[in-house]
A and B are shown apart, each in its own frame.
Chain A
Amino acid sequence: MANTLFDKVWNDHVVMEQEDGSTLVHIDRIFLHERTGSAALASIEASGRKIKTPSHVFCTMDHIVDTFPGRTDQTTMPGGSEFIKVTRDLSLKENITLFDLGDARQGISHVVSTEQGIALPGCTMICPDSHTCTLGGIGALATGVGSSECEHALVTETLRFTKPKQMRVIFMGEKQPSVTAKDMILHLIAVYSAAGGSGYAVEFAGPVVEDLEVEARLTLCNMAVEFSAFTGIIAPDEKVFNYLKGRPYAPAGESWAQAMEYWSTLATDQGAHFDREITIDCKDIAPTVTWGTSPQHAISIDGKVPALSSDDADSNHSMEQALIYMGLESGQMIEGLPIQAAFIGSCTNSRLSDLRVAADILKGRKVSTNVRAICVPGSTQVKLAAEKEGLDRIFLDAGFEWRESGCSMCFYAGGEGFISGERVITSTNRNFEGRQGPGCRSHLASPATVAASAVNGSITDVRKLEHLT
């Protein structure tokens, strides 16, 4: 029988089909962070239960820790220190691997997972964080869960899922060099809506996806949850295998050979069934930026804020609210809109390749005097590698702040945030109301667009770069 990539990974993790139609699925790896993982660990502690296989559980500090140089357990977030301390104490007690502050392996969980070789092709992985779907980029079956489900996986090494329907999104055609994985996923969500993937596991495929480097594939899968998909997944190939080889927790020696043999089977068979297929011609994708308060409110950089022409009353209402919140009007050009802040970071776009693209643009240029610009590398490893290449100097010379790694200002938790009414161009994944600060207006874009906009002081088409001053 012809199987999809998702079927293959799913089938090999079925512990038991339940009478009620759900499936008990084995979970290979669990990653925690101090924000929601702490709640799961505390609940286990209170219940007196034990983690079934501590060697398969990893934890990092990313959500609450400050990213200022010289940071400590004290954070600017109200109550933040408690999350850090509870996580550290319980990680130690439960004998799980913690990438703590000061550890060179610390960073955003979804960046560290691949960097350390913890997430692997053909493995199931969960984290109490919605962007766990990122790891589908290397062929893992990874999904975000709540704290209770995380606790369930920690104690039983399984989760109960109803098998999702399956969708394949094929990216084909000529992609412009300035169009990145971020633009591709924003385009998909803009066309098919933020609920377009609801109920589906989505395989991203096609020649353009095959051409993407590993880090770009992680970006593509990262926003599968913004499409409301169960997860995103991409067939692993030589690029992925080369990327993983030699990583600290990746298989080695004989084990590597066994893994390679298994991984080489992880592709969708000819004729396998998908419940839905979408084909996107990449010639239709320009650098893309959001104008509103949902990732589906995305348009081409040379486009206009849309008019309320939809016959869907709910959608119209939400657009009206978004226009008011964002201080915009239908028909307005998005390009040239003045910004007050620029942010490069988050599990979406904070890896070395992202920083290189931004640095290429920033080299020899200065951030506009009206703009506060911040770069937060996705992990301490990324930061160190970037510094080795001198990228930190480029960011600093251009006028960017250069931070320690963490989730940082991707979201506002009462600590650092952008100011009410301030317009921020950001390489993150959510432009929800108040996401980056009460009243703050977030425009999602690729790191290239963020860097170019920071220089110009307004939302900028990266393709017009030579016109930058």
Chain B
Amino acid sequence: MKKFSTHLGIAAPLLKINIDTDAIMPSREMKSVSKVGLGKSLFANWRFLDRGSEKEKLNPDFILNQNEYLNATVLLTGRNMGCGSSREFAVWALVDYGIRVIIAPSFGAIFFTNCIRNGLLPVVLDEKIISTLSNQVVLNPQDNRINIDIEGCRVTGPDGIDHLFELQEGDQAMLLEGLDAIDVTMKLDSVINTFKAMDLIKRPWAYLG
């Protein structure tokens, strides 16, 4: 995973609540086991009209299709972002499309972890702050960019005002160092085996052949 410390990007407000992973990555777009090249399917039901037919075209009303949001890398969304299905394809699609940061009042728990594991930063900020950021961004999306500093856990709006957010220390380290979670845990294999040896005495019935 690539190291990730700061990001300055164009933000697109998509202020819907309960944006589910079916909407981010419709099941019918998941045509292969592969994680790559999924960006073209991101928000497919919203981004395209008549998807999959000869008449298919971009939906001009969808925010990511609008010129002023070209090359957006930050999403501002409503609460419970990424609820629903655990499909990591949703995060792989966001990353492949170029989204680096999502700012929301709350996230679906599985989606949140999936983001961290793929170097996509989920930032929790108050609804009112997101609304303020959105109001500033829409005035001039290409210039009114948002800056995110992972080390300082700080989002800086186009007006220069800082908003602090919380990020679990372990998640922060994973992103800053670009660590692979499995590599980190594999170093603890002997600790895990010691646990198992004791657990086998306590809960022998939980172990299968």
Distance in angstroms from B45 CB to nearest chain A CB is 5
**Closest chain B residue, CB of each to CB of A124:** B206
Q: Determine whether the beta carbon of A195 is less than 8 Å from that of B110.
A: no
Q: Which stretch of B111-119, B141-149, B150-158 is in the interface?
A: B111-119
Asked if A55 meets B168 with Cβ closer than 8 Å, knowing A144-B86, A146-B110, the reply is no
Q: How far is the CA of A185 from the CA of B202 in the complex (A)?
A: 35
Distance in angstroms from A77 CB to nearest chain B CB is 7
Judge if B55 is at the interface, Cβ distance under 8 Å: no
Q: Which stretch of A335-343, A358-366, A427-435 is in the interface?
A: A427-435
Distance in angstroms from A411 CB to nearest chain B CB is 5
Q: Determine whether the beta carbon of B202 is less than 8 Å from that of A147.
A: no
Judge if A148 is at the interface, Cβ distance under 8 Å: yes
CB contact list, B1-55 vs A, under 8 A: 15-18, 20, 22-23, 26-35, 45, 51
Asked if A28 meets B206 with Cβ closer than 8 Å, knowing A194-B80, A432-B23, the reply is yes
Judge if A71 is at the interface, Cβ distance under 8 Å: no
Residues of chain B contacted by A35 (CB below 8 angstroms): 30, 87
Distance in angstroms from B25 CB to nearest chain A CB is 11
Residues of chain B contacted by A256 (CB below 8 angstroms): 205
Asked if A152 meets B192 with Cβ closer than 8 Å, knowing A39-B33, A146-B86, the reply is no
Q: Which of B17, B34, B89, B168 contacts A20 (CB 8 A)?
A: B168
Judge if B185 is at the interface, Cβ distance under 8 Å: yes
CB contact list, B78-98 vs A, under 8 A: 78-80, 83-89, 91
Q: How far is the CA of A296 from the CA of B209 in the complex (A)?
A: 43
Residues of chain B contacted by A39 (CB below 8 angstroms): 33, 35, 88-89
**Closest chain B residue, CB of each to CB of A79:** B31
Q: Hey, what's the 0/1 contact readout for B109-138 against A, CB within 8 Å counting as 1?
A: 111011001100000000100000000000
Judge if B189 is at the interface, Cβ distance under 8 Å: yes
Q: Determine whether the beta carbon of B117 is less than 8 Å from that of A157.
A: no
Q: Determine whether the beta carbon of A22 is less than 8 Å from that of B168.
A: yes
Q: Determine whether the beta carbon of A146 is less than 8 Å from that of B205.
A: no
Q: Which of B79, B87, B168, B185 contacts A24 (CB 8 A)?
A: B185
Asked if A155 meets B88 with Cβ closer than 8 Å, knowing A149-B113, A228-B108, A314-B127, the reply is no
Q: Hey, what's the 0/1 contact readout for A1-27 against B, CB within 8 Å counting as 1?
A: 000000000001001101111101010
Judge if A42 is at the interface, Cβ distance under 8 Å: yes
Q: How far is the CA of A77 from the CA of B199 in the complex (A)?
A: 43
Judge if B188 is at the interface, Cβ distance under 8 Å: yes
Asked if A147 meets B88 with Cβ closer than 8 Å, knowing A122-B203, A411-B27, the reply is yes
Residues of chain A contacted by B79 (CB below 8 angstroms): 195, 314
Asked if A20 meets B169 with Cβ closer than 8 Å, knowing A228-B80, A262-B203, the reply is yes
Asked if A42 meets B189 with Cβ closer than 8 Å, knowing A198-B106, A432-B20, the reply is no
Judge if A51 is at the interface, Cβ distance under 8 Å: no
User: Of residues B33, B35, B89, B189, which shows the largest number of chain A Cβ atoms within 10 Å of its Cβ?
Assistant: B33
Q: Determine whether the beta carbon of A432 is less than 8 Å from that of B192.
A: no
Q: Determine whether the beta carbon of B51 is less than 8 Å from that of A438.
A: yes
Asked if A24 meets B188 with Cβ closer than 8 Å, knowing A83-B33, A414-B27, the reply is yes
Distance in angstroms from B203 CB to nearest chain A CB is 6
Asked if A321 meets B17 with Cβ closer than 8 Å, knowing A16-B191, A148-B88, the reply is no
Residues of chain B contacted by A432 (CB below 8 angstroms): 20, 22-23, 84
Q: Determine whether the beta carbon of A430 is less than 8 Å from that of B17.
A: no
Judge if A38 is at the interface, Cβ distance under 8 Å: yes
Judge if B164 is at the interface, Cβ distance under 8 Å: no
Judge if B170 is at the interface, Cβ distance under 8 Å: yes
Judge if B160 is at the interface, Cβ distance under 8 Å: no
Distance in angstroms from A140 CB to nearest chain B CB is 11
Q: Which of B33, B83, B118 contacts A82 (CB 8 A)?
A: B33
Residues of chain B contacted by A183 (CB below 8 angstroms): none
CB contact list, A170-226 vs B, under 8 A: 194-195, 198-199, 225
Q: Determine whether the beta carbon of A195 is less than 8 Å from that of B18.
A: yes
Residues of chain A contacted by B182 (CB below 8 angstroms): 47, 49, 151-152, 155-156
Judge if B196 is at the interface, Cβ distance under 8 Å: yes
Q: Determine whether the beta carbon of A146 is less than 8 Å from that of B208.
A: no
Residues of chain B contacted by A249 (CB below 8 angstroms): 208
Judge if A303 is at the interface, Cβ distance under 8 Å: no
Judge if B186 is at the interface, Cβ distance under 8 Å: yes
Judge if A134 is at the interface, Cβ distance under 8 Å: no
Distance in angstroms from A118 CB to nearest chain B CB is 9
Q: How far is the CA of A294 from the CA of B80 in the complex (A)?
A: 11
Asked if A258 meets B45 with Cβ closer than 8 Å, knowing A18-B170, A155-B186, A432-B20, the reply is no
A-B contact pairs, 23 of them (CB 8 A): A12-B199, A12-B202, A22-B170, A26-B195, A39-B35, A55-B208, A55-B209, A56-B208, A78-B31, A79-B30, A129-B85, A144-B110, A146-B88, A147-B88, A148-B114, A148-B118, A155-B182, A156-B188, A156-B189, A157-B192, A158-B192, A318-B18, A432-B20
Name A's B-contacting residues (CB within 8 A).
Answer: 12, 15-16, 18-22, 24, 26, 28, 35-36, 38-39, 42-43, 47, 49, 55-56, 77-79, 82-83, 86, 120, 122-123, 128-130, 143-149, 151-152, 155-158, 160, 162, 194-195, 198-199, 225, 228, 230, 249, 251, 255-256, 258-259, 262, 294, 296, 314-315, 317-318, 321, 411-415, 430, 432-435, 438
- Top 3 nearest A-B pairs (CB, nearest first) are A414-B28, A79-B31, A20-B170
